[in-house]
Amino acid sequence: MLVALCIFVVFVNSAFAVRSLMIAARSRAHLEAVELDGAFPALSIIVPERDEERQIEACVRSLLAQEYPDFEVIVVDDCSQDGTRAILDRIALEDERLVVVGGEPLPQGWVGKPWALEQGMRVARGAWLLSTDADTEHEPSAAGSALVYAVKHRLDALSLLTDQTMIGPAERLILPSILWIIAFAVGGLDDVNDPQKPNAALFNGQFVLMTRDAYAAIGGYAALRGEVAEDLELARLLKADGRFSIALAGSKGLVRTRMYRSFREIWNGFVKNFALGARGKPGTTSLGLLFLASLSPLSPIALCAFVAGGHTGLALSVGFAMLAASLAAEYGMAQARFPRGSGWTIPAGVAVLFAIFATSLVRYASGLGVEWRGRHYR
C-alpha cells in the first residue's frame, strides 16, 4: 500500500514538472515596446469599476499618459459606494479625454462587469476597443505597442498577460500557484494562439484589445451577460466562431496589476471564478480536483508519513519528485515574470487552491451561488 502511494505521488509530481516545462517552452508570444510613427485609428479605453477608491487614480492617470495620438478613456462607475466617483470627477475636470459614465442599475440576468463594459462600449467612438481593469497600471507605450502587435499579426483581438505585483504574504504564497495552475490547465501560449485548438482559449480580462467589428459581430457583451469569468468566455466565443484571429501574449512589464491584497480577497475572488467555471463539466472538474489534492496536500502528507515511519527510500523518492515539481514551476514562473521564488510556494499554494476549488464546487452544486462586490450570483 505504501509503495503504491509513493508511485502515485511521484507520478503526479513528475507529470506536473513535465507539463510545466512544456508550457514554459510553448509560451513565446510577447510584446515589445515600440514608438509609434504614422497615423493610427482611434482607440477607446474602457475601465469598468465598482468601489475602487484605493487604486482607481493610479490606473486612470497611467491610461491618460498613453503615448497614442487619438484615444479616450471611459470609466464606467458601477454604482460605487465609496469615494471612487469623487476621484474620477476630479480627474475629469483636469483632462477632457476622461469620460465618466454613471452606471445604470444591474438588469436581471446580467453580471456586474459585463454590464459595465456594455455601457462603456455604447459611448465609445474608437475603431479599436481596449477593456482593462481598475487595478492595472500601464506604461506610456502599452496601448500603442499592443495595437501595433495586433495589426502586425493581423489580429481581431489581443489579450495581454500583465505582470503581477505581489507584495503581502498571502499574495506571494498563494497567487503564483493559482495563476500557474490556470496556465497548466489551459496550456502554453502557442496552444492558446493556435486556431486549430479551439478548446485552448484564454483571455486575461485585465487587458483585452479588439476591433469594433469583432465586438459587434459576436453581439457585444450582451452575449456574455451572465458570465462572471467573461474574459474566458469571450476568448472561447471568438475562437469558436472561426471568423476571427485572436491571441494571448505576455506584456513584458508594459502592464502590471495587483489583483488581491489579502487572503480573504484571494479566497472570494477565485471561489467566484471557479464556481461558475465548473458549470456543465462534472467529469473535468472532478479530475481537476483529484489532481490538485494529489499534488497538495497529499504529497506533503505522504512525505511526512514516510519520514515519520522510517521509510527512507519512499521518502526520498517523494521528496525528489516534489523538488522537481517546484523547480519546473519556478522555471516556468520566471519565464512568465512571476516574482523570484514563486515555484517554492507550490505545496502551500496548491493546498489553498484545492480548498478554494472544493468550496466553489460545493457552492455551485448546492445552488448557493457566490457573492462578489456586494452582489449575489447563482
Per-residue pLDDT tens for 50-103?
Answer: 999 999 999 999 999 999 999 999 999 999 999 999 999 999 999 999 999 999
Specify the pLDDT at position 37.
82
Specify the pLDDT at position 285.
75
**Whole-angstrom Cα distance, residue 38 to residue 59?**
27
The mean pLDDT of 125-144, rounded to a whole number, is: 97
pLDDT band of 258, cuts 50, 70, 90: very high
Q: Which residue has the cell 459611448?
A: 123
Domains in the chain, start-ordered, CATH in brackets? Answer: 2-26+265-377 (no CATH), 43-261 (3.90.550.10)
**Whole-angstrom Cα distance, residue 363 to residue 275?**
7
Is 364 a residue whose pLDDT tops 90? no
- Condensed to tens digits (0 to 9), the pLDDT of residues 337-356 reads 999 999 999 999 999 999 99
**Whole-angstrom Cα distance, residue 77 to residue 46?**
11
Q: State the SS3 of 222-245.
A: HHHCCCCCHHHHHHHHHHHHCCCC
The mean pLDDT of 274-284, rounded to a whole number, is: 62
Average pLDDT taken over every residue of the chain: 92
pLDDT band of 126, cuts 50, 70, 90: very high
Percent of the chain with pLDDT over 70: 97
Q: CB neighbours of 245 closer than 8 A, spacing ≥ 6?
A: 153, 154, 155, 156, 157, 195
* 282, 285, 289, 290: CA torsion to nearest 10: 70
Q: CB neighbours of 301 closer than 8 A, spacing ≥ 6?
A: none
Nearest to 281 by CA among 368, 205, 361, 226: 361
Specify the pLDDT at position 278.
58
Specify the pLDDT at position 284.
72
Specify the pLDDT at position 358.
87
Specify the pLDDT at position 365.
75
Specify the pLDDT at position 277.
57
The mean pLDDT of 360-374, rounded to a whole number, is: 75
Is 282 a residue whose pLDDT tops 80? no
Across the beta sheet with 71-77, what order do the strands follow?
98-102, 71-77, 43-49, 128-132, 207-211, 157-161, 246-250
Is 194 a residue whose pLDDT tops 70? yes
Specify the pLDDT at position 159.
98
Is 266 a residue whose pLDDT tops 60? yes
pLDDT band of 286, cuts 50, 70, 90: confident
Higher pLDDT, 364 or 327: 327
Is 276 a residue whose pLDDT tops 60? no
359: number of CA atoms within 13 Å, CB side?
Answer: 15
- Condensed to tens digits (0 to 9), the pLDDT of residues 157-183 reads 999 999 999 999 999 999 999 999 999
Specify the pLDDT at position 179.
94
**Can you give the pTM of this predicted structure?**
0.92
Specify the pLDDT at position 175.
95
